[in-house]
A and B are shown apart, each in its own frame.
Chain A
Amino acid sequence: DTGVSQDPRHKITKRGQNVTFRCDPISEHNRLYWYRQTLGQGPEFLTYFQNEAQLEKSRLLSDRFSAERPKGSFSTLEIQRTEQGDSAMYLCASRGLEDEQFFGPGTRLTVL
């Protein structure tokens, strides 16, 4: 399967703990996006990478959130000191030369 992959698929954590998610984009795609989706809502943009450079961040990305793409391939999204309001589906999408973004299966985060 050459699509976007995300790991883990599900994460349950206690409030105050740190969590890290991983995204592996389609291999030839140099553009990578993170979105967050809560129940009944559409995905909301968090951040964008072109190769290893983080070029855009949403106001939703508070100081507790950090994202990296160290070698321009996979990306990680870390949330420090998780809060119950962080519970959501975290989606990664990659894009090549065309405009279409292809999404991974998502990581479902539950903060207790």
Chain B
Amino acid sequence: EDQVTQSPEALRLQEGESSSLNCSYTVSGLRGLFWYRQDPGKGPEFLFTLYSAGEEKEKERLKATLTKKESFLHITAPKPEDSATYLCAVQAPSSTLGRLYFGRGTQLTVWP
């Protein structure tokens, strides 16, 4: 059973067109939710960690938010260089050693 579901699978935006990516999770007692960016052929690059509902983190054009059931990655006025796959991962209560469960990612394409 998937613990992390990301939507949409793919998203195409015009430069400057703001949008949000969704990550829903089924684990209870979340120990942490993580957002990563992954460029083709490279390893994931850490973006944010969220721990509790209501928490928000920002970095440049990206803002991550967390509720009790899902997280959103908001992209404001995206640029072509924001094109990448965005991965969400959770650390479940049973993961005392830090094991992460990843979603399949949202492939974002921003065209000029």
Contacts and interface: CB of A to CB of B under 8 A. Distances in A.
Interface of A: 4, 6, 31, 33, 35, 40-45, 48, 50, 55-56, 91, 93, 95, 99-106, 108
B32 A42 contact: no
B102 interface: yes
Among A31, A101, A104, which residue has the most Cβ atoms of chain B within 10 A?
A: A101
Provide the main secondary structure of the chain A interface: strand
Among A40, A44, A55, A99, which residue has the most Cβ atoms of chain B within 10 A?
A: A99
Interface residues of B, number: 24
A42 B43 contact: no
Nearest to B102: A42
Interface of B: 4, 31-32, 34, 36, 41-46, 49, 87, 89, 91, 97-105
A108 B104 CA distance: 18
Given A48-B97, A56-B97, 5 more contacts: A33-B98, A43-B89, A44-B102, A106-B41, A106-B42
A48 B98 contact: yes
